[in-house]
Amino acid sequence: MAKALKIGAMVLGGAALLATGVGAIAMGGLAGSLAIAGVSVQTLFLASAGLSIASSLLQKTDVPASQTQRLSATIDPRAFRTTVLGQTAMATDIRYEEWHGAKQDYCSWIVALASHAIHAVDEIWLNDELAWSTVRGVTSKFAGYFSVPRIVTEGWAGVGYSFASGQWNAAHRLTGCAWCHLQFKITGNSKGTDSPFSGGPPSRITIIGRGAMLYDPRRDSTVPGGSGPMRADDQSTWRYVTDDGAVIGENLPLQILRVLLGWRITNPVTGAKKLAVGMGLPIKRIGRPSFIVAANHADEQVPRVAGGGTEPRYQGAGVLSEGSSGKEMLDTLCGGCCGRIMDAGGKLDLILAHNDLAAAATDDGLMDDDVIGSFTWNPDPALDATPNVVRGRYVDATPAGLYQMMDFPEVEVPSPDGIDRPLSLDLPIVESPRQAQQIASQTLQRRQRARTFTALFDIRAWRWPVGAVVPFTFSALAFDRKLFRVTEQEYAEGGACQMTLTVEDAAIYAPIADRAAVPGGAYYGFNPALDPIAQAIAAAASSEQLNQATRTIDQQAQLIQQQQNALSQVTARVKALEDASQEP
């Protein structure tokens, strides 16, 4: 039997967790549990602030630390495992460092990029400059000083190798993980030249690549509505780019499915598979047909007003850490696509909030007679609790931003009293200004309509499950087929339904004319040759070279003087002999 839905958390525009207390299975990382028996209709609402029925539990989701830590290379033995989704800046966890060479003028790093197999590494930026790419190799500025001896997209027994002292060798392969070997030369290649790394390797490193392979139920012939060779229980069939050339690696619903399924690494000795990242839920607990619908919706091309052209409706890219709970990871991902996860009959379905109100036109809906108990109508929140401006940050993936979080153009509506009330909304998995503004608009419009109706309905109300849209005619409040969405249900005595409805409106989903995001300011970078220590060394070297040159010139002058003196002596001797020969 279903219990009352309780919102455990809410992300503005992005996430709320509704959990039940009985007949449940534990789900690691999720704050709460999900009923799997009976006609459970509890819902993980991970879509929009407008669906909240417990405003006291409203809280913002923090930007995952992994999204900022990935931009600086660090040695941290306690670093958590990471998942890289989409094309983005990968993790930069230094797992091994060695100084080598005759004068220890080389520094090598083994950098862990992800705790799973990845599709490819495309570019490496040092500070704000492109240093290496798969197309160009090492760029001219760093030629002779920087190299990428090895890139491994998935560690296994055949990819191990040794370098320098041999402490890193074939036995160290980071099984199942993606990693690369970076090498820096600290000293100049000749006299009078300086290494770009004379002050040491840079800490600001951006390694751009295409991350996790995803499972797509649309390409699985064992799933209703699917067709193809992919299988949820066979990771070797998962892809970033499918065999027919379609890029699915940035599809947000499929990324959510990847987190739910998890990724397993194979023990090279025993062959056993062990969950490395993600939640590892059983396939049978996931309603895969719903992910087909969601993935198709996310792939729909929508126009960009700023810059022109089109782009997929919802794409995601970023780094998730196992230091975050499963709920936090789902909050982040669902917040980027206005998604909500529903428990329908023991299976988790994903629904993307979109304008599905047209279907209600042929629905007879709820009537006065369906309400069999007292009701509560919350028409509007207090004015000071209703924001009229949404502002926040998205990830700027341009060369100017290099995956730092930047402000997207704020979205606003007029304030009734002329006082702006901003709502902060960060979208750490979103790299599109248009997408960020559309999510902000849906969040803002929903907050303008945060009206709820709660009452005891007769058994007929069970026709509309949680998440369904229902027209409601109720004379006591002058409702005439007013559109609501079911947000909470609870069984009551005699099979009655205690239900909460939230107002719906097509304006919530209206497309917006997106504006161009403010570009990141030019970064003038750091010139290691101007480092005070490097300059002092160069100055000392220059001074010594000058002194040596002066000594050489003095020695040459003395030699010339000696030769001139000897020549004068010879000349005088010759003249003396000539004079003597002329005497009588």
pLDDT of res. 390: 96
373: helix, coil or strand?
strand
CB < 8 Å & 24+ apart, contacts of 24-31 = 25/285, 27/279, 27/281, 27/326, 28/279, 28/280, 28/326, 29/279, 29/324, 29/325, 29/326, 29/327, 29/328, 29/329, 30/279, 30/325, 30/326, 30/327, 30/330, 31/325, 31/327
Q: Where are the domains of the chain?
A: 87-212, 531-584
The average pLDDT across 394-407 equals: 96
β-sheet bridge partners, residue 502 = 452, 485
d(C-alpha 67, C-alpha 395), whole Å? 9
pLDDT of res. 514: 78
DSSP 130-168: EEEETTTEE-GGGTTTEEEEEEESSB-GGG----TTSSS
Q: Residue 580 above 80 pLDDT?
A: no
Cα-based angle 93, 429, 351 (whole degrees, multiple of 5): 135
Q: Residue 26 above 80 pLDDT?
A: no
The average pLDDT across 133-140 equals: 96
The average pLDDT across 251-256 equals: 98
The average pLDDT across 277-298 equals: 97
The average pLDDT across 382-390 equals: 92
295: helix, coil or strand?
helix
Instruction: Convert the pLDDT of each residue in 149-181 to its tens digit.
Output: 999 999 988 888 899 999 999 888 899 999 999
Q: Residue 41 above 50 pLDDT?
A: no
Q: Residue 23 above 70 pLDDT?
A: no
d(C-alpha 487, C-alpha 307), whole Å? 38
The average pLDDT across 213-229 equals: 98
pLDDT of res. 543: 64
Percent of the chain with pLDDT over 70: 82
pLDDT band at residue 66 using 50, 70 and 90 as cut-offs = very high
Q: Looking at per-residue confidence, does 161 or 205 come out higher?
A: 205
Q: Residue 238 above 70 pLDDT?
A: yes
The average pLDDT across 180-201 equals: 90
Q: Residue 423 above 60 pLDDT?
A: yes
pLDDT of res. 19: 30
pLDDT band at residue 25 using 50, 70 and 90 as cut-offs = very low
Nearest to 278 by CA among 206, 208, 344, 326: 326
Helix axes 326-335, 252-261, angle to 10 degrees: 170
pLDDT of res. 351: 92
CB of 439 within 8 A of CB of 315?
Answer: no
DSSP 405-457: EEEEEEEE---TTS---EEE---TT---HHHHHHHHHHHHHHHTT--EEEEEE
Q: How far is CA 288 from the centre of its chain?
A: 24
Q: E strands within 227-272? A: 263-266
End-to-end CA distance of the chain: 148
The average pLDDT across 313-341 equals: 95
Q: What is the mean pLDDT of the chain?
A: 85
pLDDT band at residue 427 using 50, 70 and 90 as cut-offs = very high
Instruction: Convert the pLDDT of each residue in 89-127 to its tens digit.
Output: 999 999 999 999 999 999 999 999 999 999 999 999 999
d(C-alpha 429, C-alpha 444), whole Å? 19
The average pLDDT across 274-278 equals: 97
pLDDT of res. 578: 67
Edge-to-edge order in the sheet of strand 479-491: 371-378, 452-457, 497-503, 479-491, 469-474
Q: Residue 29 above 80 pLDDT?
A: no
pLDDT of res. 532: 66
Instruction: Convert the pLDDT of each residue in 337-375 to its tens digit.
Output: 999 998 877 899 999 999 999 999 999 999 999 999 999
The average pLDDT across 274-303 equals: 97
pLDDT of res. 368: 97
d(C-alpha 101, C-alpha 364), whole Å? 80
pTM over 0.75: yes
Q: Residue 237 above 70 pLDDT?
A: yes
pLDDT of res. 584: 58
Q: Looking at per-residue confidence, does 160 or 21 come out higher?
A: 160
pLDDT band at residue 246 using 50, 70 and 90 as cut-offs = very high
d(C-alpha 527, C-alpha 141), whole Å? 12
Instruction: Convert the pLDDT of each residue in 471-507 to its tens digit.
Output: 999 999 999 999 999 999 999 999 999 999 999 999 9
